[in-house]
Amino acid sequence: MTTKVSETAMPARLPGSLEARVEKRLAVERHFSEIGHSYRHGKLYRQFEHDVTRPLLKLGLQAMGVYHRGLQNALLPVVRRIPIHFANLPPALDGFEILHLSDFHIDKNPALADALAPVLRELHPDLCVFTGDYRFEDSGPCEAIYPPMTRIVDSIDARYGIYGILGNHDAAEIAFGLERIGVRMLVNEGVPIGSSEEPLWLAGVDDPFDYRCADLDLAMRGAPHEAFKILLAHAPEMYAEADREGINLYLSGHTHAGQIRLPIVGALRHNADCPREYTFGLWRHGRMYGYTSAGVGCSTLPVRYGCPPEIVLIELRRA
């Protein structure tokens, strides 16, 4: 799919529709366009990142003779199987498997789709979730993401389908584009999954990091009290609010686990306002478990060191 989904081409707004749910995001996008920067980064920062930081980092890696290796590393995904035990898991969900993919940034490295597709075809999860960041830059066109994302979506065989949320690199139009290729986008919305007798409630919020449009109350509206509750949020920063809301499992990405991880030291950058241990892998806050994915794509440069792209399979188990 290569057709650009623009605001002017959006269908008429209906209450509760995707068009209505992205209105807040669209208002923030218009504001960013008018002021020329996001809430966190001004014009000079963005220009310095693009014109100085990236070229210097690339030059340094090339000088050390490791840049090509980093490119290769970024195309070698690993599958991580993560069993998590819950005392309150309904019996019908024991063994339920969730495929979690995050941070594609796919237009910068379209060869990633070729690397992911054969691995994904071998997996048959009950549910698949995407936790945002399909575009490499945080502004500009979106058309280039759709062909590789279509290949990825076509490679996934999930019993209850594919659900996704927007990240801080994504424009609102991406929600419409991904829905057209088969991803059900949750923008401050929740939906029941599976049996109504022992329900699973899947909630997805808009980006809490840059756009600050996340609304967990809205995403949890209508959730049965007894349901097992899973939250998709692009960044792990909503951990305290999610625990208070009774979320059982919090799935996020955004941090790339640093993307460059050194022995012993680990990541040099965590890029999230939360405890360090919440920025990668399995963690727990109060009664809630969380998993922050290292993602499958790359930011800044399409390289990885000590931090392979990861395909995460979460397996729900009764304690």
The 10s digit of each residue's pLDDT in 212-227 is 999 999 999 999 999 9
State residue 33's pLDDT score.
84
For residue 128, what is the enclosing H or E element?
strand 127-130
Check pLDDT > 70 for residue 10.
no
317, 95 contact by CB (below 8 A): yes
Q: Distances from the Cα of 308 to the Cαs of 66, 136, 224, in angstroms? A: 15, 18, 38
State residue 42's pLDDT score.
67
**% of the chain beyond a pLDDT of 70:** 94
Q: Tell me the per-residue pLDDT of 28-53, one tens digit each, with 9 for 90 and over.
A: 999 888 887 677 766 777 788 888 98
State residue 148's pLDDT score.
97
Q: Provide mean pLDDT across the span 131-139.
A: 93
Tokens matching residue 22: 């992205």
State residue 16's pLDDT score.
67
Helix ranges, 192-234 (H): 216-219
CATH architecture of the domain with residue range 18-318: 4-Layer Sandwich (3.60)
How far apart CA 38 and CA 30 sit, in angstroms, is 11
Check pLDDT > 70 for residue 2.
no
State residue 175's pLDDT score.
97
State residue 256's pLDDT score.
96
Please tell me the pTM assigned to this model: 0.92
Helix ranges, the chain (H): 18-21, 23-35, 43-48, 54-63, 67-73, 111-121, 146-154, 173-180, 216-219, 239-244
State residue 32's pLDDT score.
85
**Domain limits of the chain?**
18-318
Q: Provide mean pLDDT across the span 117-132.
A: 98
